[in-house]
């Protein structure tokens, strides 16, 4: 049951499926012109890759192991494995900087293949960068080259099976190369689903979801990806690690939680046993309006703390609400004011729960704003990254970052990060925020910024990102709620977990990967 | 708000508060006589401790650090810090074997004290055994003495504050020495509770709950203790580790999950930030009858997989159902047959949820068996360990062990462990089982055995435990769902997580505690 790899490749300097890309909607373009000014950027030019910097004899060893057709050095293939999809990644591709390209791409077909690739990489001291969907936004695909005989992209594209589908335990074993829709399609054959829908869903992979602790838009109902994982198979330089003897146990530290979020630095995840759900018979998405971000998010807190969470629960702040409403042609320009909340209910029979949530939201100051806006959100839920490309095309810097904290620290964190971004990006910038993941004890905050591009937009964003990141740590929050550490977040991870925490990561790394070939430079400060 | 340490000490060779102990109920005694025969064991004799084996000069250093009154060498104090409360622990105390007694007991009063005690222990190469409630049943308090200048019990009894009670985030910071009822009393001042009720609740401590990944009788509603933890402060030989910047995040591996279950081998937990709940306004416990263990547990699975879990959910197998009903005088000897399920609902308003659960259980073959039996369970929920003492007194070997697995493996595991115990303990033994913790993907299995004591009951149990443990691992299950590894489970932990998993634990240990003074011999195979 291994499907062919049919998912489309992404454009190297843009998001997603080129056929799905759209020009900037007129309403948004008008807003952009008004607020930010427009500066058309040159179309991406054909860029030349640095020549592969690895001994041919080494590649021959990998060819003997995997077969010639699974060791690729073509420019197109290497370009598509260069960095991820953060705005800086796209900007670098646009200006022809492909200095982080891997020397070659290797495609193992099985756990044993991965194990053998790792052993060969250790022998030749070649760096390995595990590659799933290529959607990292934190520099997770940019390995350190210095000191290594070369850098190989370890593309998991051939590992796309769903195995051991267990409708009694409601679990399934998924291979790491499965992209979101591919995994859902295989599970749907059994009437099952995962329910993990990050914005990168259409391209990101099962292995990547686990390695980065991804969280999706239905996390209120189905949980973070890490909470869906009950077992893991990992190939490491020390051999195979198999974890997951029970849903939960007390057999020492939970080593699954050490692999989750390890970004390929400890080992390569070759199988993920996940908790699955029945495909819901009913789905409804509806909008609610609240007078303010504080009032709306207090209502979210009430739901989370009283066992009333719907499947989807999101709240835009005043700025994001204004932009969203003005940019969605299918909704029209009508403004509801205040803050828009999206509430989604999915399940076998949702009426009872929906009634309870409706009653609670009403009592907490919410006003129903219709299913039409809810549907519009659901239909456009994976589209924002395309919009970023269109904005970059017209000279607007667009990027996102996110954090999380406990409820009582929400306002302090919100203000600190918003102000850091606004101050750094200037008065012509827009800073939008939403809450898309809630817990009994706290919530995430997801910021989107738009600003006129400076002459050096990379430096412009780097400074803003530094200021915002430091604001998060200074506010006692996390450097990332659901986008991992990569290379970009390392200085702040070091502050977040402190020197003893960093020493633990280093001990584990030194024990599992003493020669350091696994994604060097990523995760560990 | 640090309460005095008023909780009673336990008898060294018996469970709990001597005032609460009771003789064997007549009905049970009749059963015991009939099934097992009775062999009165001699009353515990006054046993002599080995003399402290540590240099006086070393103890003087600890006295200078903590004050004379917090470094104790009296026999009574040392005896009460010797081992835990497994049946082998009690049997050893009964025969006067106190060879595992610590040389002295040190009582730090703060995180900084603990940090300083660790530094002093490293300097003098003295082993430290963190001590909370002393309720380990897996040998977690038995440190290796060889190679060390002495063994100190690090008693956390002075650290009993509840701090930073946050009714917005619904979190509180609890110190590790708080016993279950003490923590609940401090939280109750704010209308809050933890909701963690293991059978050891009355004596076990917050630090121990975290260090052993405890799970309580209300886990269906409130979760395992590890799932309640959102932050940890840990004193290690490398310095202080502070974790918990958000309810959840993607900032690398979740290091909290490495501390949880680490049993003092990586560091000493000095504060636990927990998620708290409002004290429920309503509570009801009721009994249900099912025709068989399989039918009852299928019903539990249905509840877990359909978002219908009550607060308490337990199911006894046919054997345990028969014994429980016959031994509870307040219920009378009337047998309902089949399998008894206890369902507890707690909350602000439970009628709606209770109706849904009642409807589901009825449709799945359940028959209501009354609130009286439910109340009887709730009233006797912490009493079983006292009963064990009474059984040991009359020559019956009583012990428990537990495991967990995925639902589709439930029957295989149940049969394998039951048969291993029955075969090892002989035809006069009784093997009872219940499910007390359920997940969407699986459940725990908790076994209680009773058998006539052989001439060497320690060897008798050791063999049975080995057979049952190997049966768990051979069935692909975990060696423990909620009682940690200690020294007893190490050989099977090694099989469960494999050599790569063991190497990770060793790497972390070597990095955090290179001189190995923290609970040596515990946890790490």
Judged by CB atoms closer than 8 Å, whether chains meet at B507 and A505 is answered as no
Q: What pLDDT was estimated at residue A179?
A: 97
Q: What pLDDT was estimated at residue B244?
A: 97
Select the residue of A166, A246, A275 nearest B478 (Cβ to Cβ).
Answer: A246
Contact at 8 Å (CB) between A369 and A336? yes
Q: What pLDDT was estimated at residue A43?
A: 47
Please say if the pLDDT value at position A69 is more than 80.
yes
Average pLDDT over residues A432-446: 98
Average pLDDT over residues B436-461: 97
**Mean pLDDT rounded to a whole number for chain B:** 92
Residue ending a domain, choose from A109, A124, A155 = A155
Strand partners, A283: A346
- Together in a domain, B430 and B365: no
- Together in a domain, B132 and B180: no
Q: What pLDDT was estimated at residue B148?
A: 98
**pLDDT-based confidence at residue B38 (cuts at 50, 70, 90):** low
Judged by CB atoms closer than 8 Å, whether chains meet at A504 and B442 is answered as no
Residues in A closer than 8 angstroms to B306, CB to CB, are 348
Residues in A closer than 8 angstroms to B234, CB to CB, are 500
* pLDDT tens digits along B260-295: 999 999 999 999 999 999 999 999 999 999 999 999
Burial class (CB in 10 A: 0-12, 13-18, 19+), B412: middle
Residue ending a domain, choose from A331, A365, A381 = A381
Residue with tokens 């490293």: B122
Average pLDDT over residues A156-171: 98
Q: What pLDDT was estimated at residue B12?
A: 83
* Nearest Cα to Cα of residue B78 among B47, B121, B49: B49
Residues in A closer than 8 angstroms to B251, CB to CB, are 261, 478-480, 484-485, 489, 493, 496-497
Q: What is the rounded radius of gyration, in angstroms, for the C-alpha atoms of chain B?
A: 23
Select the residue of B241, B441, B442 nearest A498 (Cβ to Cβ).
Answer: B241
Please say if the pLDDT value at position A27 is more than 70.
no
Residue B498 Cα distances to A446, B115, B198, B468, B473, angstroms: 39, 33, 29, 19, 11
Q: Domains in chain A: how many in total?
A: 3
Q: What pLDDT was estimated at residue B110?
A: 98
Q: What pLDDT was estimated at residue B5?
A: 42
The alpha carbon dihedral of B186, B190, B191, B193 has a sign of negative
The 3 state secondary structure assigned to B47-101 is CCCCCCCCCHHHHHHHHHHHCHHHEECCHHHHHCCCCCCCHHHHHHHHCCCCCCC
Contact at 8 Å (CB) between A375 and A330? no
Q: Can you say whether residue A240 is alpha, beta or left, with left for phi > 0 and alpha for psi between -120 and 50 degrees? A: beta
- Together in a domain, A224 and A306: no
Q: Which of B32-41, B380-389, B416-425 has the highest mean pLDDT?
A: B416-425
Q: Is residue B110 part of a domain?
A: yes
Q: What pLDDT was estimated at residue A323?
A: 85
Please say if the pLDDT value at position A124 is more than 50.
yes
Contact at 8 Å (CB) between A269 and A232? yes
- Together in a domain, A239 and A350: no
- Together in a domain, B137 and B46: yes
Q: What pLDDT was estimated at residue B434?
A: 97
Q: Which residue of A has its CA nearest to B298?
A: A168
Select the residue of A169, A214, A257 nearest B407 (Cβ to Cβ).
Answer: A169
Please say if the pLDDT value at position A330 is more than 50.
no
Select the residue of A170, A242, A484 nearest B498 (Cβ to Cβ).
Answer: A242
* Distance, CA of A33 to CA of B223 (rounded, Å): 52
Residue A77 Cα distances to B230, B233, B373, angstroms: 43, 47, 68
Judged by CB atoms closer than 8 Å, whether chains meet at B258 and A257 is answered as yes
Domain of B139: which CATH number?
A: 3.30.43.10
Domain of B256: which CATH number?
A: 3.30.465.10
Q: What pLDDT was estimated at residue A436?
A: 96
- Together in a domain, A134 and A204: no
Q: Is residue B521 part of a domain?
A: no
- Together in a domain, A180 and A145: no
* pLDDT tens digits along A34-62: 566 555 554 444 667 889 999 999 999 99
Is residue B263 annotated as involved in ligand binding?
A: yes
Catalytic residue positions of B, numbered: 446
* Distance, CA of A83 to CA of A153 (rounded, Å): 10
Q: What pLDDT was estimated at residue A28?
A: 64
Residues in A closer than 8 angstroms to B359, CB to CB, are none
Select the residue of A224, A406, A480 nearest B251 (Cβ to Cβ).
Answer: A480
Q: Is residue B208 part of a domain?
A: yes
Minimum distance, in Å, between the CA of residue A479 and any CA atom of chain B: 7
Average pLDDT over residues A486-506: 98
Task: Give the strands of the sheet with B396-406, arranged side by side.
Answer: B367-370, B282-290, B339-347, B312-316, B430-435, B442-452, B396-406
* Distance, CA of A71 to CA of A106 (rounded, Å): 5
Higher pLDDT, B30 or A189: A189
Q: Is residue A482 part of a domain?
A: no
Minimum distance, in Å, between the CA of residue A235 and any CA atom of chain B: 10
Contact at 8 Å (CB) between A216 and A239? no
Higher pLDDT, A314 or B325: A314
Minimum distance, in Å, between the CA of residue B404 and any CA atom of chain A: 6
* Distance, CA of A71 to CA of A78 (rounded, Å): 11
Is residue A427 annotated as involved in ligand binding?
A: no
- Together in a domain, B400 and B473: yes
Higher pLDDT, A380 or B335: A380
Judged by CB atoms closer than 8 Å, whether chains meet at A405 and B246 is answered as yes
**pLDDT-based confidence at residue A2 (cuts at 50, 70, 90):** very low
Please say if the pLDDT value at position B336 is more than 90.
no
Judged by CB atoms closer than 8 Å, whether chains meet at B252 and A261 is answered as yes
Structure tokens given for B303: 């509840």
Minimum distance, in Å, between the CA of residue A364 and any CA atom of chain B: 16
Residue ending a domain, choose from B235, B251, B278 = B278
Contact at 8 Å (CB) between A449 and A464? yes
**Mean pLDDT rounded to a whole number for chain A:** 92
- Together in a domain, B338 and B373: yes
Is residue B63 annotated as involved in ligand binding?
A: no
Judged by CB atoms closer than 8 Å, whether chains meet at B503 and A510 is answered as no
Q: State what percent of residues in chain B have pLDDT above 70.
A: 91
Q: Is residue B363 part of a domain?
A: yes
**pLDDT-based confidence at residue B17 (cuts at 50, 70, 90):** confident
Residues in A closer than 8 angstroms to B254, CB to CB, are 213, 226, 257-258, 260-261
**pLDDT-based confidence at residue A326 (cuts at 50, 70, 90):** low
Judged by CB atoms closer than 8 Å, whether chains meet at B236 and A479 is answered as no
Please say if the pLDDT value at position A368 is more than 90.
yes
Residue with tokens 């869906």: A228
**pLDDT-based confidence at residue A334 (cuts at 50, 70, 90):** low
Q: What pLDDT was estimated at residue B324?
A: 77
- Together in a domain, B252 and B222: yes
3-state helix, strand, coil in chain B (%, to 5): 40, 20, 40
Query: A with B: how many residue pairs have Cβ under 8 Å apart?
Result: 277
Q: What pLDDT was estimated at residue B333?
A: 46
Q: Is residue A357 part of a domain?
A: yes
Residue B289 host element (H or E): strand B282-290
* Distance, CA of A41 to CA of A130 (rounded, Å): 32
Minimum distance, in Å, between the CA of residue B140 and any CA atom of chain A: 11
Q: Which residue of A has its CA nearest to B246?
A: A405
Is residue B382 annotated as involved in ligand binding?
A: no
Is residue A253 annotated as involved in ligand binding?
A: no
Minimum distance, in Å, between the CA of residue B311 and any CA atom of chain A: 12
Q: Is residue B134 part of a domain?
A: yes
**pLDDT-based confidence at residue A332 (cuts at 50, 70, 90):** very low
* pLDDT tens digits along A260-302: 999 999 999 999 999 999 999 999 999 999 999 999 999 999 9
* pLDDT tens digits along B305-333: 999 999 999 999 999 999 876 654 434 44
Residues in A closer than 8 angstroms to B503, CB to CB, are 238, 511-512
Higher pLDDT, B29 or A374: A374
Structure tokens given for A251: 């057999």
Q: Is ipTM > 0.90 here?
A: yes
Judged by CB atoms closer than 8 Å, whether chains meet at A171 and B249 is answered as no
Domain of B459: which CATH number?
A: 3.30.300.330
- Together in a domain, A212 and A329: no
* Nearest Cα to Cα of residue A79 among A45, A113, A109: A45
Domain of B360: which CATH number?
A: 3.30.70.3450
Select the residue of A247, A409, A439 nearest B441 (Cβ to Cβ).
Answer: A247
Select the residue of A213, A246, A407 nearest B169 (Cβ to Cβ).
Answer: A407
Q: Is residue A506 part of a domain?
A: no
Q: What pLDDT was estimated at residue B13?
A: 85
Judged by CB atoms closer than 8 Å, whether chains meet at B250 and A305 is answered as no
Please say if the pLDDT value at position A30 is more than 90.
no
Judged by CB atoms closer than 8 Å, whether chains meet at A260 and B253 is answered as yes
Cβ atoms within 10 Å, residue B231: 21
DSSP A454: -
Say whether pTM exceeds 0.80.
yes
DSSP A20: G
Structure tokens given for A326: 């003005």
Tell me which residue range forms the domain holding A353: 282-381
**pLDDT-based confidence at residue A8 (cuts at 50, 70, 90):** low
Is residue A504 annotated as involved in ligand binding?
A: no
Q: What pLDDT was estimated at residue A385?
A: 85
Burial class (CB in 10 A: 0-12, 13-18, 19+), B2: middle
Judged by CB atoms closer than 8 Å, whether chains meet at A249 and B441 is answered as no
Looking only at the bridges linking them, the beta strands covering B151-155 and A442-452 are unpaired
Higher pLDDT, A94 or B462: B462
Average pLDDT over residues A351-376: 95
Is residue A479 annotated as involved in ligand binding?
A: no
- In this structure, of A130-139, A353-362, B15-24, B186-195, the range with the lowest mean pLDDT score is B15-24
Please say if the pLDDT value at position A333 is more than 80.
no
**pLDDT-based confidence at residue B413 (cuts at 50, 70, 90):** very high
Minimum distance, in Å, between the CA of residue A27 and any CA atom of chain B: 35
Cβ atoms within 10 Å, residue B98: 18
- Together in a domain, A150 and A34: yes
Judged by CB atoms closer than 8 Å, whether chains meet at A482 and B250 is answered as yes
Residue with tokens 């990644």: A89
Q: What pLDDT was estimated at residue A329?
A: 43
């Amino acid at each position: 049951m291994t499907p062919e790899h049919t998912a489309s490749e992404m454009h190297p300097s843009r998001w997603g499926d080129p056929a799905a890309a759209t020009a900037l909607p007129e309403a948004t373009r008008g807003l952009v012109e008004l607020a930010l000014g427009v500066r058309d950027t040159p179309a991406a030019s054909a860029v030349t890759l640095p020549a592969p910097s690895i001994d041919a004899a080494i590649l021959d060893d990998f060819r003997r192991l995997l077969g010639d057709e699974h060791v690729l050095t073509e420019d197109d293939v290497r370009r598509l494995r260069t960095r991820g999809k953060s705005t800086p990644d796209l900007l670098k591709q646009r200006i022809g900087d492909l200095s982080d390209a891997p020397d070659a791409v290797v495609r193992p077909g099985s756990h044993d293949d991965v194990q053998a690739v790792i052993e060969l990489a250790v022998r030749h001291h070649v760096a390995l960068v595990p590659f799933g969907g290529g959607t990292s936004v934190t520099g997770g695909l940019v390995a350190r080259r210095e000191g290594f005989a070369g850098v190989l992209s370890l593309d998991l594209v051939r590992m796309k099976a769903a195995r051991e589908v267990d409708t009694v335990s409601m679990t399934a074993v998924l291979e790491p190369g499965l992209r979101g829709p591919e995994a859902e399609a295989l599970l749907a054959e059994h009437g099952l689903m995962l329910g993990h829908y990050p914005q990168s869903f259409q391209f990101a992979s099962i292995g990547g979801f686990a390695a980065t602790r991804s969280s999706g838009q239905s996390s209120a109902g189905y949980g973070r990806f890490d909470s869906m994982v009950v077992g893991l198979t990992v190939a490491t330089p020390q051999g195979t690690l198999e974890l997951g003897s029970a849903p939960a146990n007390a057999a020492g530290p939970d080593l699954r939680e050490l692999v989750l979020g390890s970004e390929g630095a400890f080992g390569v995840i070759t199988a993920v046993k996940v908790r699955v759900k029945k495909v819901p018979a009913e789905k409804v998405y509806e909008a609610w309006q609240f007078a303010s971000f504080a009032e709306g998010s207090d209502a979210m807190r009430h739901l989370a703390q009283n066992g009333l969470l719907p499947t989807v629960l999101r709240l835009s702040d005043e700025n994001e609400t204004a932009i969203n409403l003005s940019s969605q042609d299918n909704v029209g320009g009508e403004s509801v004011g205040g803050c828009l909340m999206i509430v989604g209910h999915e399940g076998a029979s949702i009426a009872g729960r929906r009634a309870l949530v409706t009653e609670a939201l009403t009592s907490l100051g919410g006003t129903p704003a219709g299913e039409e806006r809810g549907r519009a959100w659901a239909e456009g839920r994976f589209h924002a990254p395309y919009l970023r490309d269109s904005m970059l095309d017209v000279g607007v810097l667009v990027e996102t970052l996110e954090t999380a904290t406990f409820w009582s620290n929400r306002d302090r964190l919100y203000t600190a990060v918003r102000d850091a971004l606004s101050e750094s990006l200037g008065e012509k910038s827009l800073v939008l925020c939403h809450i898309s993941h809630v817990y009994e004890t706290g919530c995430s905050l997801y910021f989107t910024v738009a600003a006129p591009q400076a002459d050096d937009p990379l430096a412009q964003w780097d400074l803003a990102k530094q200021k915002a990141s430091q604001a998060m740590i200074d506010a006692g929050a996390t450097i990332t709620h659901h986008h991992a550490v990569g290379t970009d977040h390392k200085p702040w991870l070091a502050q977040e977990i402190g020197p003893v925490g960093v020493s633990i990561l280093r001990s584990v790394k030194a024990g599992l990967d003493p020669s350091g070939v696994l994604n060097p430079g990523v995760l560990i400060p």
